[in-house]
Structure 1
Amino acid sequence: MRTRLLYRDRDVRALPALPENADDLIRDLDLDALVAVMADDARHRDVVRRIMLVGADDVDDIVHRQDVLRDCIATPDAVAEIHGIAQDALDRERRTFLGILSKASPARQMYHSVGVLKLYTAALADLRDCCIRHEGQFRSAGLRSLCSRMATEFDESYVKSVEGYLDSLRFPKGESISARLGTANHGTDYHLRRNRRPPVRDYVPLLEHSSLTFEIAPRDLAGAEALGELCNHGNEAVAEILAAAAEHVRGFFSALTIELTFHLGCVRLCRALDSAGAPVSFPTARPATARGFSFIQLVDPTLAVRRGDRPVGNDVDGFDGDVVFVTGANQGGKTTFLRSVGLAQVMLRAGMFVAGDDYEAPAHSGVFTHFRRPADATMRHGGFDDELERMSAVVDLIRPGALVLCNESFSTTNFREGAAIGAAVVRALRDGGVTVVYVTHMFDLVDAFAADPGDTLFLRAERRPDGARTFRVCPEPASETSHAEDVFRRIFGVAP
């Protein structure tokens, strides 16, 4: 029983663990603004958040997810119906069966598993019928394969045979158990047998030898315990098989629910971005070893969903290097640009669309952020110590092919020292096969790379002569002149 809606060759049977840098990514990229749009309850938000942050490393898996998501966007009602059947089956098990203790008897375990399997068998029949109705609407390999498997592997005759087997495991008139005597006359080879009504002639020996039957007195606790022990021996093997079968079917419904929760969350986000007028397109993913990126009208999706309108987009055409510096005036859109690049990479790795007209980039081996933080209120360490500590944690986690986003890193010390440390860190990351996008006001840092630009791209937040910000980031070298003049004019009302 396979779902295969996130990966081509495996299912998501359990929620993946969050990466170690998840808290920084969520905070710096404002990721929960998107997650809140994608899911309206805590459980579904957790699913969406984890799958987005873990992503997929294989380009073929990313393309596989994109194809499934295209189907979900085109046929949301059909996909929501499949998801509803799976989710309802899991919820009904939680409501109906409160679970059993790990030390419960095999008989109770068997009874519990039979009930669970009967519930899921009925849900499988509903799911099969739903898939048969909607299979013709799907185009992706993932959803078409799911529908095909449901139709062929769980046809009516198979479901009826399963129901028959489960009904035969109810023993209203008692159980038939066989065994033989082993070493020291201890019982061995216990087997639970089907209860079949024997022909009349089989009753004759029982009538002639009534000693072959016995009864336990109501107060014979020891006898009842001994008989219960015999039953447990007989039920043990069957109970284990049924428990494994129940867990397997439960895992199928759990995987289907997790995977479709993510895809339907993406559908909701797509609708929200479309309502805000933000561009949406499926990106082209390249291997992590590739360099550079290019995009057209890339926007920050968190800004779009918060404001409800289209933010200013940015273009980068055919950059094939490893280092990007972004400079310019305050409030010019630098951090927003940085966030749009980071979120586009997270969404690409997750197999989602991006908020842009076009986006092509490597599927980086990971996304890491190093943003400026407020001063430590506890005063246990200084701001610069904190920056060094957080950068050390990033370096410990990154692998070749990763993407690191720096926002005013090492700005808590003087400009000369900060520039020297920043340049050393950027060179080390670049030489290690890591792509760096660095927003900074430190001219000396950018100037250290300007002499031999090589694979470095220099961008600057656009500022008009009158000081107005366009919130666009354009290919321009850094300027050594600050924009303190803007502050002077604004305060003293001096015209440009």
Structure 2
Amino acid sequence: MDRGLATIRYVVRIKGLRVTVSLETDQPSDDGYDYSAQVADTFARLQQMAAKSHVSKLTDTTSMSYVESDILDRVARLDPAPFDALRRFCDDHTDFLDPVLVRFDEEVQFFLRYLDVVTRLSARGVSFCHPELIEPGDPDRDEQVEDVVDLALALALAPGTDGRPVGNDFARSGAERVLVVSGPNQGGKSTFCRSVGQLYHLAAIGCPVPARSARVRLASSIDTHFERQEESADVGGKLENDLRRIHAVLSRADAGSVILINEMFSSTTLADAEFLGTKIIEQIAAKEAFGVYVTFVEALATLGQETVSMVSATDPEDPTRRTFQVLRSAPTGHHYAKALAERYGLVRGAVTDAIEARPAAVELDRDRPARQGRHDQEANS
């Protein structure tokens, strides 16, 4: 087969945008005979010095451009026998690569690149550790993680920035099954949810995790339900799509599952979001799975012993400033909203004082209907 392919010789003629392919012949013709040797012999006696060669050597590669591919396709049409033999050989040896070696090649590349990430982020203060894994059937099922960070956020920070992402701790024990995370917007809730998912995934595939210490279950599956944009093909509406997605997740969940839910039911009423969220948490607890539920419905954090309330914290000295820490704490209610209102003078007392401080303007507005009436009478007269 190699000898057959080695005997193929062809000519490519390029004229403007037209490319013509033909097999090389021994006789001169307009179809591509190489006249270079005859020309060189004719002008050899006039040559005074060695001429610079303009011949370029094509390197052997495993890939081709679309032009090279089209040229080879036309060569195969002109001389099909060697290519038919090559095609039969490929069909007879499609499985010559050991699938174990192929998978090892793919996975070892991932691990080596991940170790590069670990080295780079460790130099910027991110902690990594090998987690202690809780096997199925282990009598001690309590889980605890210290100083976990979101790798995506850590990689997004420029190398010269000050510090590293804010790390967070979480733990569950006994009947606790779901971490219910509430708090102000842009306070780090979704980032915390992502960091938990990354930690369980990396632990399951045997990688160091971005935390100071970790004792977690060996996840049998990791499912997520993050909000996504509606599409025109979705005829059922956002609420129905949310319910279908979470139903599929809960149907396949088991005692080893990790379920991450971020801001679900934002398109429905508060009462409906609380009712549906309660049912979902009950399902997660019944299956003994582990979940993180980021929500604006704070009532879900106090359902019972199966929930752990966590709150994205603010600075005690300045409640309008977020710390991006997610702490185990009771829901803060409207504390953050009240702090913002106070900061910008929008609480009831401040608004009343502002109105009372402008009596002339108020009296002017009260007298406006009477003045407008006089003007109308004068215009009519």
Q: TM-score w.r.t. structure 2 length?
A: 0.61
CA distance in 1, matches of 2:344, 2:136: 49
CA distance in 1, matches of 2:237, 2:155: 35
Q: Deviations over 1:266-307 (max 9, x none)?
A: 122213322432112221222245644211111111110001
Match of 1:408 in 2: 263
- 1:300 correspondence with 2:150: yes
- 1:254 correspondence with 2:108: no
Distance 1:491 1:366, change over 3 A: same
- 1:265 correspondence with 2:265: no
**Unaligned segments of structure 1, at least 5 residues:** 1-90, 114-238
Distance 1:263 1:443, change over 3 A: closer
Instruction: Report the CA distance between 1:251 and its aligned residue.
Output: 4.2
Aligned 1:62-73 pairs, distance under 5 A: none
Q: Per residue, is there more helix in 1 or in 2?
A: 1
Instruction: Report the CA distance between 1:326 and its aligned residue.
Output: 1.5
The equivalent position to 1:280 in structure 2, one of 128, 132, 140, is: 128
1:287 touches 1:364 (CA, 8 Å); kept in 2? no
Distance 1:461 1:255, change over 3 A: closer
| Counterpart AA for 1:305 | L
Aligned 1:236-385 pairs, distance under 5 A: 243=93, 247-249=95-97, 251=99, 253-288=101-136, 291-308=141-158, 309-317=163-171, 319-320=173-174, 321-374=176-229, 376=231, 380-385=235-240
Give me the identity figure in percent.
26
- 1:479 correspondence with 2:327: no
Match of 1:470 in 2: 323
Aligned 1:88-487 pairs, distance under 5 A: 108=85, 112=89, 243=93, 247-249=95-97, 251=99, 253-288=101-136, 291-308=141-158, 309-317=163-171, 319-320=173-174, 321-374=176-229, 376=231, 380-449=235-304, 453=305, 455-465=306-316, 466-467=318-319, 468-487=321-340
Instruction: Report the CA distance between 1:367 and its aligned residue.
Output: 0.7
CA distance in 1, matches of 2:226, 2:148: 21
| Counterpart AA for 1:277 | G
Find the residue that maps to 2:166 and give its secondary structure. coil
The structure that has the greater radius of gyration is 2
2:145 touches 2:169 (CA, 8 Å); kept in 1? yes
2:260 touches 2:291 (CA, 8 Å); kept in 1? yes
Instruction: Report the CA distance between 1:264 and its aligned residue.
Output: 1.5
Q: Deviations over 1:190-242 (max 9, x none)?
A: xxxxxxxxxxxxxxxxxxxxxxxxxxxxxxxxxxxxxxxxxxxxxxxxx96xx
Distance 1:111 1:478, change over 3 A: closer
**Unaligned segments of structure 2, at least 5 residues:** 1-59, 65-71, 351-381
Distance 1:384 1:487, change over 3 A: farther
1:273 touches 1:280 (CA, 8 Å); kept in 2? no
The runs of at least 4 aligned residues of structure 1 exceeding 6 Å deviation read: 91-95
Distance 1:405 1:315, change over 3 A: same
Q: Deviations over 1:322-363 (max 9, x none)?
A: 222112222221111111101101111122111111111011
CA distance in 2, matches of 1:296, 1:317: 9
2:199 touches 2:210 (CA, 8 Å); kept in 1? yes
1:406 touches 1:436 (CA, 8 Å); kept in 2? yes
Q: Deviations over 1:5-44 (max 9, x none)?
A: xxxxxxxxxxxxxxxxxxxxxxxxxxxxxxxxxxxxxxxx
CA distance in 1, matches of 2:165, 2:288: 32
Find the residue that maps to 1:480 and give its secondary structure. coil
Distance 1:256 1:483, change over 3 A: closer
Q: Deviations over 1:399-456 (max 9, x none)?
A: 332111111222321111211111111111211122121112212222322xxx2x43
Alignment root-mean-square deviation, CA: 3.7
CA distance in 1, matches of 2:219, 2:101: 31
1:458 touches 1:477 (CA, 8 Å); kept in 2? yes
Find the residue that maps to 2:325 and give its secondary structure. strand
2:302 touches 2:309 (CA, 8 Å); kept in 1? no
Q: Per residue, is there more strand in 1 or in 2?
A: 2
1:295 touches 1:316 (CA, 8 Å); kept in 2? yes
Find the residue that maps to 2:242 and give its secondary structure. helix
